[in-house]
Structure 1
């Protein structure tokens, strides 16, 4: 017993801690990260400029606006109107002078609105520079239009003009200006311009598809028919006889009814 007690008293039970380079490196890195977080916390938030015409409910709430003030702005915008200055913003929303003084430095209005107060001479120069008039066009047949003719339209460059001409080649010819809506990349505004300067004259010798004699392959090559629909047309024809008009074709499942009028101009029965 005495020997065990002496062993316990004289022995060193402390565990020697071995140095681990990887652990020390990790602790140093963690210390740097903690320091960065502390720096970010103390940093002031960055304020970005914004157009007050497009304030959302949440944005208005964060700015300190009341629900009534936000609703007044929303109602004003629903009338397709815009505020052009901080003073007009206050007049529409009814925000207090103190809140306006706080948030108005963050307002950013488009340049064309800021220039609204310029004199008439400046307005004239601005209009000429920003919206140059293109030469007046006579109404042409879209099926006879060249790339140069199409590129005279606002919003149509080389890419879109090539796409229009390619679609015409695929179809053989256009039969309606409504087909411009099927061409990818043409905005409603550009389509309106096309309708103002072009019309469709269907060629007398335009080749049509005989829907009662065409094979599945021939029908599937038609832009408005997919292979599945072409197969259904031939199956329906073999079981029920020839088609007499477009109304007979509409009875087939998955037929694009909304384009029936245009499709009928490419078919013969």
Structure 2
């Protein structure tokens, strides 16, 4: 390009260099403001990390859930000694929980911790967080047509009056479905909901 400028204007080498430098300076002055504007528009724009944050939160949640699942204790499979590993749960209470579980025929809901005598609300919540019940678990059941009066009254949800009503009913007529308990004179809906998992024909 310098050669064409020198030939066109009959410049010396120094004049050509000076003229070329002036042209380049003018171009730079014209281009630089626009280039700077484009640069600031691109790099000054705040980056949107919202999607990254949402993904990170989901991954953290999954990690917490997985960690919780690994640490959970199956309340229907443990011993009193196993329960003592839970902070704040002494031997006496651990034994009481296991005894109550055995009387029930197994826990079917973590809310049943509320029925254990002497178990504080704080410990109930801690147990609910650190224990679980298998979805496939089936508790020990009492037979409406076969279990003895003694077996019935041994269950925490069965009073002597209810046990007698069950025995009296089947002495006259066999239970054909679990729903037949609705015909008992002592029937109560809240009691039936609690007792249903522990009943069989």
Superposition TM-score tier, normalisation by shorter sequence = 0.5 to 0.7
* Match in the other structure for 1:192: 125
Q: Does the 8 Å CA contact 2:105/2:198 hold for their aligned counterparts?
A: no
Q: For 2:76, what is the secondary structure of its paired residue?
A: helix
Residues 202 and 211 of structure 1: is their aligned pair in 2 closer, same or farther, counting only changes over 3 Å?
farther
Count residues with an aligned counterpart. 133
Alignment equivalent of 2:109, drawn from 168, 176, 197: 176
Which stretches in structure 1 are left out of the alignment for 5+ residues?
1-135
Residues 237, 181 of structure 1: alpha-carbon distance in 2 compared, 3 angstrom cutoff: same
Q: Which runs of 4+ in 1 moved over 4 A?
A: 202-206
1:258 positional shift:
2.2
Shift of 1:229: 1.3
Task: Give 1:229's match in structure 2, choosing from 151, 162, 173.
Answer: 162
* Structure 1 length-normalised TM: 0.43
Structure 2 vs 1, CA of residues 184 and 206 (structure 1 numbering), >3 Å: closer, same or farther?
closer
Q: Could you list the per-position Cα deviations for residues 70-90 of structure 1 after superposition, in whole angstroms to 9, with x for gaps in the alignment?
A: xxxxxxxxxxxxxxxxxxxxx
Give structure 2 stretches of 5+ with no counterpart: 1-67
Q: 1 or 2 for the larger relative contact order (CA 8 Å, sep ≥6)? A: 2
Query: What is the match of residue 193 of structure 2?
Result: 261
Match of 2:61 in 1: none
Distance (Å, rounded) in 2 between the aligned partners of 1:264 and 1:196: 25
Give 2:91's match in structure 1, choosing from 139, 158, 162. Answer: 158
**Where does 1:22-61 land on structure 2 (aligned, <5 Å)?**
none
Confirm or deny: 8 A CA contact 2:107 2:139 kept in the other structure.
Answer: no
Q: Is residue 208 of structure 1 aligned with residue 141 of structure 2?
A: yes
Structure having the higher helix fraction is: 2
User: Equivalences for 1:130-149 in 2 at 5 Å?
Assistant: 138-149=71-82
Partner SS for 1:248: helix
Query: What value does the CA root-mean-square deviation take over the aligned residues?
Result: 2.7
Deviations 1:1-58 (A, max 9, x none): xxxxxxxxxxxxxxxxxxxxxxxxxxxxxxxxxxxxxxxxxxxxxxxxxxxxxxxxxx
